[in-house]
Structure 1
Amino acid sequence: MTIHLSKSRLKYLSRLGLFLFLLILSGLFYASCNTQSSRNQSGKAHLGESPMTDSMVVDQLIQRSRSFYEETGMRAEPFDRFLQEAMEIASRHNLLWQQVRILNTIGRRYRDRSAYGEALRYHNRALTIAQNINNKGLLSEVYNQIGVVFRRTDDNAIALDMHFKALRLAEETRDSFNISVAINSIGNVNANLGRYHSAIEYFLRALEYADRLDNTLGKAINNHNIGECRLKMGYPEEALEYFQKSLAYNNQIGSRAGQSICYNSIGAVYIAKDDPVTALEYLERALNINDRLGDLMQVSISHSKIGEVYLLLGDFAKADDHLNKSYELAKNIGSRFQAEESLRLLSRLHEANHNYATSLEYFKTATAYRDSILNEKNINHLTTMEAMLETEAQRNRIYQLNQMTSEQLITLGRQRLMLTIIIIIFVILAVITTLLIYQHRLRIKYNNLKNQHKLLRSQMNPHFIFNALSAIQVYVLEHDVEKSTKFLTDFAKLMRLVLKTSHHDFIPLKDESEILKYYLELQKLRFVSPFNYQITIDEGLDQENTFVPPMLTQPFVENAVEHGVRLMENQGHLDIRFKKLNTQMVVEVEDNGIGISSSIDQKQKSGINKKHESMAIKITKERLDVIRNDIGGKVSLEIIDKKNINPFDRGTLIRIILPIVSQNN
């Protein structure tokens, strides 16, 4: 039943050290998470998470640029002042997705001007940003735009690759709009290659998405594309049906440009059907719309087609008028393709009029335009390739820089980790050293306290022993054999019990009660006016299996006898009670003596220092502190003057509360 305080305290200190270690690791993990969270927040800022007002301003500027561009046409700069201001705001506030929109818009405008190299440069800048922020929706849109550039330069293989990349990304993000755009673009590439059946399949798929999205413009475009394929395949009747559907959708959304395109295509159908009169009717409608729209390119095309119809009708004067208008417009706006087409028709016209010299001149000029177109395509192709190589080189440089940055970050991370580990080890060593020193001091303090306890338990009050031996001597001198024999017997039993229990931290309650009994019997023999006492133990306390600290109550019993009932004129009485209260044991020592206050007054009159405190009581309090630390539970000591509770009562009440210690625990 011996309790080792040092082991218990060592466990406590070990747990404390482990707790501090885990606390340090938790702090480091939390700091790491905060750092990672800060990096994530920084990454979000690069995605363009900016105040809504800035994004709205950029949207308005892009819309104003589009309106201005539609009004002025080719006279406007592709990168106008509205887009410049929008790009400045988007760059300042890290609106990266808006920057992609702006760059794509500029690239489309250069593409419409056949400046494919410039167009590709802007689209590649947009692609780099979209790749950096890993936005699949933007990547799909950019790949579609790049694919259109390569389709216009007859690089159909690269165009197909771009559109298929756009299609895969759009499918991953379930972006139906970009899916339909990619499918339509793949169909256009197949149409350029003369694979009209494959092209129609893609246009039909794109048309399904347009129906699903209720995209009227998409319906108009895909129906028109299917009509063109059927016309080139030699099915003008089917082509006419699709052109009429496209025209109906353009009428629904009020697209004048779409109406003009449909009228031209329907005119081409009637030309194929050898019905130039009806064809002329639709082509003139297209011309009227294009005149109102002010689109000089479309006006030139309309004059060219009308001139071709008049050529078929044999009205050479009107044919010449319209073809010359078409040529002049094409030459003024710099459209070499349309100029070449007009000159070719003029050559046929003069050949039909037997003006062979003039026909030859027009034919030569048309050939020159065609050669320049081919040269331009080659130049554009070369420019496109240069732009691709430049972009690839930039990507390689960026990749190398990213690799170097990653390696530096890894090195810094390792250094930071090593520093963190060193700090943790140092802190742990410091904590362990501190705990060991603290434990060593506690062990020394405990050993000193334990020695004091052993000293207290191993010896009775010297005054009591001296008085007991003096009383025995008196009985021997008086030849009172009976009393002296009983005194010696009780004294020997008491000494035997004290020596027997002096080396144990806890003893059975039965032994403690016997020690008190023999002690009180000896005290009664000492006094002329003996006192009464009673030791009461609750039935709920098993005297054999319930353990208490040895000699814990003896100092209080001695004080009750020496300073309480001994000084009384009448017979004194002493009650010692061991009571069970739930999981606690309550030990009470109560006497009807003169009380604490009267005892202190008598000591002062006798010249005893009022600051003097019984060493036995002091050590008993320290023993109770040890029990509280070792076993836990409620441990307390109360010394009560009964007169403070009831003015008509006298005596002292000592109450000690201990945890119940049994042989099982």
Structure 2
Amino acid sequence: MIRYAGLLLILLTGIISCKGPMAEEESSPGRTGMDISGTDSLVVEQLIERSRSQYGQGGANLDITDSYLAEAEEIASKNDNVRQLARIYNLLGKRHRNRARYGEAMKYHQKALDYATKAGDKNLLANVYLQIGVVYRRIDDNPMALEMHIKALSLAEETKDTLLISSSINSIGNVNYNLDRFATSIEYFKRSLAMSRKSDNKLGLAINHNNLGESLLKLGEVDSALFHFFTSLDYNYQINSKVGQSICFNSIGGAYIEQGRPHKALEYLEKALHLNEDLGDLMQVAISYTKIGETYLDIGEQEQAESYLFKAIDLSKEIGTLFQIEQASRLLSELYENQGTNGKALDYFKMSAAYRDSIINEKNIHHLATQQAIFESERQRARIEELNQQTLKQKSMLDRQRFYLITVLILVVAVSFAIIMVIRQSQLRNRYKNVRHQQRLLRSQMNPHFIFNALSAIQVYILEHDIEKSSRFLTDFARLMRQVLRSSTHDYISLKEEAQILGYYLELQRLRFSESFEYTLHVDESLASDEVMVPPMLTQPFIENAIEHGIKPVDTDGLIEVKFRKDKSQMVVEVTDNGIGINASKKASEKEKGHESMAIKITRERLDMLRRDSGGKTDLVIMDKKQINPFDRGTVVKIVLPVVEMNSAKRKTASRDRKSVVRKKINVMG
């Protein structure tokens, strides 16, 4: 792994410290009613900076939550300053991570993610995702690390924050380095370096020079690597970064080992170890132990080598870094082999092999699959070449036969193609008719089970002499049925009518389930609900699924949100709930899976037909909220429709009606 991960995190936690939108807003002198909270915010900023300064000078000897940071958290919580709380928890997560407390680190990063989401600050979110990605890198979960870093890069590009973009690109380079894609990692580091140089960001320059050196060292370019390491060290001295200096010392030591200069390497490796022990970064301490043990082994001081390698293994097991365990155990096997202690040498060799296998097992699977595909391709290519050679040898004898054969094949293909096209057109016409019939059936019939339950609920209210609820339920039920029957013969209805139908439906379901859930129904003001037309009952199946499969299995109060909003020339319909989520629902209710799939299939076909009719873009996305936020719960359904106005919808309907009349006349005349 690249040794500059720790230094990168200082950059990430400092990106929003002084120049973000919040700092500018709070320092504006002309705002009224903000004096007290503005003063508190400045106090919190100063406390965070003091905590950083003190912790950076001796992190291993200090509590993670020092008095400065504890006071900052208290003031920020009192003022409900979600941005500063997000920063504080992100910083705490980083400190836990650097002491290899990855579970605690994730807890604090999750708090930071919640507050950053509440603040709606994309820069904050990007920083949190970057920090979470670093935790995943530390535990060797590179796919999840890459996913987090890509999220951070996407958010940074949205806000056009060049510093954050540079950090995200650097992090993606780190993941490529971990996956042994050194040439690719160099390209990412060069891009990040160029951005740091353009903005005169010395911290970024220090980071990227060191990372470039590590990648070049892996490619065997030791002299070039040393140039980048010493350049990075110079920048770290300029910004007085002890973390950066320790990482550079380790890197320089590793380069001198590659050059065969072990005594020179020890000089730098021991400097790195002392700094890392003071800073409390256990990952870097484990790396220093391994490198020093390897160097002592090279110069023949086996007792010293054994001591440091045992320390490396013990600490690596404690923090769970497989790579360092594999490295240290391999070196111990070599040491005992040199001593002639073959039993111990074999034991540590087996230990090294086991950890190495666990690290590269997944990589080997992909590699084998790739090699197999290449082998199959080469074998097919060789077979084709062989057949071509045979064909060339017989060419003089088969020219006329081949000509006739090609002519016949062309005729057969042409005739077959024509027949297939005719059949295909017929199938498409029949499918078009079937989908329209299915649409009308779906629109004209409410769920019979729902209607039965609704009438049963009305009966219960009547028997209980609850006149108010039974009257309210019956009135809403009658309105819903009238609206459904009215819209069943139309391809489009107004957005206002669609919203009324959904409102009646939601209220009836709410009454039916004894008001066990709440709902909101919002139509964006930019959508003229009287003029904008939508396919009727398009959203109702997903609301039904949200209630039946999402909210109903949950004991706590549910919430369903239905939103209609405009996005440029498109309308986006969102149905969200806080139920068990679509993934859990599929596992828990396999019996209803077929019904739900049919509703989704018909909806997709309706959207496909709408796309062909209107020429606009349509889409249907259903996903579990855990795909967006691993700590959230529920389902999100997003339907994208073109904005169709009343006049255009009428023209399309009239055009289809005229075509229908013409077809009827032709049939009669025939």
TM-score normalised by the chain length of structure 1: 0.45
Which structure ranks higher in relative contact order (CA pairs < 8 Å, sequence separation ≥ 6)?
1
